[in-house]
Structure 1
Amino acid sequence: MSTGNPARLARIGTGGRHLIVPMDHGITLGAVKGLKDIESTIDAITRGGADAVLTQKGIAGRVHENKNGAGYICHLNGSTAIGPDENDKRTTGTVEDAIRAGADAVSFHINVGSQYEREQIEELAAVTSEADRYGMPVLAMTYARGPDIDPESEDYNQAVGHAVRLGEELGADLVKTGYTGDAESFQHVVESTSLPVVIAGGAKGTDKETLEMVRGAMDAGAAGVSMGRSIFQHDDPEAITQGVASVLHDDQSAEEAAREAGLAVEA
């Protein structure tokens, strides 16, 4: 490993923990709330304590002047919600593209268990090999998604654990995956890899749901979150980011974090 890899990893986290806000949803969903004036949103979430912002390469120019010293991650594949299959993620850039865009790390999404798994495994492996040549960290977004995977089943955490282990086996530096619903089940996921594990935010929930999910993940041994819509579509992106940061970096309870950030959390 080159010295560049740990140096860049340090730019997208704090003390080995990561609060990443992915804002690449413009490809998937279009210019939804929070992404039209993405400059203001990036300014707010980084003032609130986000360690890094994540976008596609074409948005990089709108990121750097507004990220208040936070790190930048360039995402390298995508799909649309209006296309035939959102799970069919296609390559949108290279590690060299990310370097030219001023990225501190790259990310790549793979749906483990889907009909596209084989191609996505090959593509992620190629990305980690290219990234290694440049000392560029790779965030592998490894989701358990497919016709034989049921998120409501008792053994869902086994599939998610398999997904994060795949990310390590293919050479990633940290992995992102879906939360399994509680700290007890997610502990298996964290123990399935030696890499730092960050959880996805999923669909936008209440402040209480968001902060309790983060608390549960951290109690299970997670290294942070990569949370998009729950943050950038919030009525007060800076406040919710501050709340998440307090749980993640200051080890606060959901209630303490909400109170400090000025969030109204239901009893």
Structure 2
Amino acid sequence: MTTTGTQARLERIGTDGNYVIVPMDHGITLGAVQGLKDIESTIDGVTRGGADAVLTQKGIAPRVHDHKNGQGYIVHLNASTTIGPDERDKRMTGTVEEAIRAGADAVSFHINVGSDHEPDQITQLSEVTAAADQFGIPVLAMAYARGPGVDSEDPEALGHAVRLAEEVGADLVKTGYSGDAESFQHVVESTRLPVVIAGGSKGTDRETIEMVRGVMDAGGSGVSMGRSIFQHEDPEAIARAVSGVVHEDLSTDDALRESGLALEV
């Protein structure tokens, strides 16, 4: 059951039920890659561009608040690295209480549905949602279809992942994109939670915005998009284009044009 506090905090990380979230917790996973060394400037740019919230691990919180221009803040609670033995084996890095002390409006947790680590991650996500409920803190479940023999773009698998998030008590769910609006509609219809998509590795500006347009056309609620935004040569402009689609219902061409990004031939 969504409490008054949970609803109030959801409104801090979104706008009218839609969400443009920029996760920047990749410093654990990938290291201090482009866009994360001077994370202060990136946070300032994406929030000026229209991002509703940014997301980091708890240790980066002191670098967030002075630069987020009054927008929302989410603390991520598990992680792994690309140089470790198994990137799908996400381990706990924080608690709901630590996130609150870090000034978070919400917490997030990653689960790889279909992986060998799924059982432990289901248990941990359930524990996070129970703890968050005690404080009226929203939980963003990053529920991916990833594992042996699992197609990470299969709408049935993605639908299963987002339904799992609802079943264990999340308030908002992020998952991969199935490739087109028609197939993604099944994913959206698999849960009553707001569904946002991951961005994945950086594509062209047009590919990024067409993907955002597709999720909105399918009835989705926005994006939680990291590298496609924070590694862009102009994070503010691409955030503005994404926000234009999510919050203003702009077409791909209009979003690119109004954000000042050149239209591609």
What range is the shorter-chain TM-score in?
over 0.9
Distance 2:138 2:257 in 1: 35
Paired position in structure 2 for 1:233 = 231
Partner of 1:244: 242
Specify the alignment match of 2:189 in structure 1.
191
Q: Distance in 2 between matches of 1:2 and 1:63?
A: 27
CA distance in 1, matches of 2:49, 2:197: 19
1:83 partner amino acid = G
Q: Give 1:2 shift.
A: 2.7
Q: Secondary structure at the match of 2:233?
A: coil
4+ residue stretches of structure 1 with deviation over 4 A? none
SS state of the match for residue 64, structure 2?
A: helix
Show the counterpart of 1:79.
Answer: 80
Look up the SS of the partner of 1:109 in the other structure: strand
Cα distance in 2 for residues equivalent to 1:265 and 1:210: 13
* Number of aligned residue pairs: 264
Indicate which of 172, 175, 180 corresponds to 1:182: 180
1:266 matched residue in structure 2: 264
CA distance in 1, matches of 2:224, 2:27: 16
Q: Secondary structure at the residue paired with 1:108? A: strand
CA distance in 2: counterparts of 1:175 and 1:29, whole angstroms: 23
Distance in structure 1 (CA, Å) of the matches to 2:24 and 2:249: 25
Q: Which residue of 2 aligns with 1:42?
A: 43
Query: Residue in 2 aligned with 1:159?
Result: 157
TM-superposed deviation, 1:151: 3.8
Could you tell me which of 208, 216, 219 is aligned with 1:218?
Answer: 216
TM-score by length of 2: 0.99
- Unmatched tracts of structure 2, length 5 or more: none
Paired residue for 2:148? 147
Query: Per-residue CA shift, 1:206-241, capped at 9, x if unaligned?
Result: 000000000000000010000000000000000000
Which SS does the other structure have where 1:244 is aligned?
A: helix
- 1:261 & 1:100 partners in 2: Cα distance? 36
Q: What percent identity do the matched residue pairs reach?
A: 74
Q: Give 1:232's aligned amino acid.
A: F
Alpha-carbon shift at residue 148 of structure 1 (Å): 1.9
Alignment of 1:53-72 (within 5 A): 53-72=54-73
Amino acid aligned to 1:198:
V
Do the aligned partners of 2:13 and 2:53 also contact (CA within 8 Å) in 1? yes
Matches within 5 A, 1:27-38: 27-38=28-39
Give the match's secondary structure for 1:259: helix
User: What is the root-mean-square deviation in Å for CA atoms of aligned residues?
Assistant: 0.7
Q: After the TM superposition, which residues 90-169 of structure 1 pair with which residues of structure 2 at under 5 Å, given as runs? A: 90-151=91-152, 156-169=154-167
Quick check: 2:151–2:157 contact (8 Å CA) kept in 1?
A: no
Q: Conserved in 1, the CA contact under 8 Å of 2:212 and 2:246?
A: yes
| 2:145–2:151 contact (8 Å) kept in structure 1 | no
